Every structure is written in C-alpha cells, then in structure tokens.
Amino acid sequence: MDKSIFMELSKTPETVDLEMPLGKTFPIWMEIRDFVLEKYPAAVEEWHIAVKKYGWGFRIKDKNCQLIH
C-alpha cells in the first residue's frame, strides 16, 4: 500500500491534482489554503519529497513567520 496518493516522483503534483482525491472536501481545502496565504502573504506553497518511500508532501511555509508562544 502506498503511503501517499502522489508516489510518481518524476512529476511534481499541482493544486489541481488534489481535486479528485479530496472530492467534495476540495473546496474546503482551497478555503484553508487561501486563508493561510492571505494571512501570510510572504508564504510559499511547496511540494517536496522528504523520504522517497512516502512520496510527495505539501506545505505552506513562510521563512519570516515566527510563532508567538
């Protein structure tokens, strides 16, 4: 069993590639994504492969963002 829906390492996934796997929840994902990008305008979306056996992962990161504890 694959550990990710994106195991084809030679092709970087795109946001639209999430539409079919997420199904009815895709619009909710887009709302969350848009909210984060609105709150952190310097943030960037990044598809990455941390470990090949787990496939592609996705994150939104902002190098300038510091969490307040």
Burial letters for 58-68: b for 16+ Cβ neighbours within 10 Å, e otherwise? Answer: eeeeeeeeeee
For the chain, what are the domain ranges? 15-61
Q: How many whole angstroms separate alpha carbon 67 and alpha carbon 51?
A: 26
Greater confidence (69 vs 9) lies with 9
pLDDT in tens, 14-59: 999 999 999 999 999 999 999 999 999 889 999 999 888 888 999 9
Of the two residues 63 and 19, the one the predictor is more confident about is 19
